[in-house]
Amino acid sequence: MMCYSILGPFFPKEAEKKGASNTVIGMIFGCYALFNLMASLVFGKYLVHIGAKFMFVAGMFVSGGVTVLFGVLDQVPEGPMFIAMCFLVRITDAISFAAAITASSSILAKAFPNNVATVMGSLETFSGLGLVLGPPLGGFLYQSFGYEVPFILLGCIVLLMVPLNMCILPNYESDPGKHSFWKLIILPKVAFISFVITSLSSGFGFLDPTLSLFVLEKFNLPAGYVGLVFLGLALSYAISSPLVGLLSDKMPHLRKWLLVFGNLITAGCYMLLGPAPFLHIKSQLWLLVLILVINGVSAGMSLISTFPEILSCAHENGFEEGLSTLGLVSGLFGALWSVGAFVGPTLGGFLYEKIGFEWAAALQGLWALTSGLVMGLFYLLEHSRRRRRSKLQNILGTEEERTTLLPDET
């Protein structure tokens, strides 16, 4: 995750020196999510054919290698050659990252079948830490040692993890499944949860290009302090995720309501971030930081519950229990996250320019509110349907007992 987030503080400036426009720099960042989306679906489908362990190790090896290559791009001549190489390296990184993440989620869900949410929550802690630590560490290494060192150092660390994981990770053999992504996504429950994942991902992505500009403009903070504002969101998400995962595994019946209320609280957070003009609340820095902290916890509540919910829904609908289904769920999750990561910053940047941060954040909150309400309504309908079904089964059961007893009585 640090390899992914390290670019933020200094790459745009370096790219500008090499003749890249702001639009092209945005496309270099944006193409990552797009290719991550496509690769996640492919790797999820063919996880069993390729092998989970090989996919993970190969993904890490390629990702580490291209991160090192990114560090030597300053040696490439400026202009079209530099831009083409940036796209090539970034796309390769996105594909290798998709392979590693899809395989890692499947391996962990296979290794800890009864604690999927706890394990995913723990994984999100380190994802959050990587996203938080990447920009400050990248900025410090860039200032101290120049452009090459941040990439080469992190790339080498990833490459060192390859032999370690080759020794530690177990080999899981499994038969290819007969189901496809299409059969998974057309399940109503999975379709609604997909909407939730995209909504949460786009919410995080929306803040990337807009929040720092808003904070600098509104509160006149020094640039160094802007990163600390983001820290509130990332740390609360990183700390709460494993706790939510643990609660979700210990009390599976609470999972659906964690998902729903997490979304509704997230919607409220986005409404209050600006705050939205119709609320007539004065914008204050302490309020903004507090809302970001609450947003981190509420997003964790929703997001950690999504993976086990999709997995249990797949099993209930006849998907086989094994690596092939885990691959489909992991790939789908990665793809949906990438959709949000692409839509969030793109739409966020556009809305920020047109209607300002306050209204743009309120619209993002409306998306979270819609997904939360739709999900809640679905769960209520599902609950009433199950109650009706169980009542009908009880009635049929008692009638069968009567018919078997009647001949004996005569």
Question: Is there a single domain that holds both residue 11 and residue 143?
Answer: yes
Question: Is there a single domain that holds both residue 228 and residue 338?
Answer: yes
Question: Is there a single domain that holds both residue 75 and residue 212?
Answer: no
Q: Helix-strand-coil percent breakdown of the chain, rounded to 5?
A: 85, 0, 15
Question: Is there a single domain that holds both residue 127 and residue 168?
Answer: yes
Which of 149, 174, 199 is the C-terminal boundary of a domain?
174
CA-to-CA distance for 50 and 31, rounded, in angstroms? 25
The alpha-helical segments, DSSP class H, found in 251-284 are: 255-273
Which of 123, 151, 174 is the C-terminal boundary of a domain?
174
Q: Which two tokens stand for residue 71?
A: 């560090």
Q: Which two tokens stand for residue 249?
A: 């595994």
**Whole-number pLDDT of residue 404:** 65
**Whole-number pLDDT of residue 57:** 92
Domain of 46, in residue numbers: 1-174
How many structural domains does the chain have? 2
CA-to-CA distance for 30 and 180, rounded, in angstroms? 27
CA-to-CA distance for 64 and 96, rounded, in angstroms? 9
**Low-confidence residues in the chain, pLDDT < 70:** 8-10, 22, 174-177, 179, 209, 222-227, 397-410
Question: Is there a single domain that holds both residue 186 and residue 76?
Answer: no
**Whole-number pLDDT of residue 358:** 84
| Whether the Cβ atoms of residue 332 and residue 185 lie closer than 8 Å to each other | yes
**Whole-number pLDDT of residue 59:** 92
In a domain, 323, yes or no: yes
The amino acid that residue 207 corresponds to is L
Which of 174, 195, 222 is the C-terminal boundary of a domain?
174
**Whole-number pLDDT of residue 224:** 60
CATH number of the domain where residue 361 is located: 1.20.1250.20
**Whole-number pLDDT of residue 410:** 45
| Whether the Cβ atoms of residue 319 and residue 17 lie closer than 8 Å to each other | no
Task: Give Cα separations from 182 to 42, 179, 277, 296 (angstroms).
Answer: 13, 8, 41, 31
Q: What is the pLDDT of residues 283-312, one digit of tens each?
A: 788 888 888 889 888 988 888 888 888 888
Question: Is there a single domain that holds both residue 128 and residue 272?
Answer: no
**Whole-number pLDDT of residue 160:** 93
Please provide residue 245's backbone torsions phi and psi, each rounded to the nearest 5 degrees. Answer: -60, -45
The amino acid that residue 335 corresponds to is A
pTM of structure: 0.78
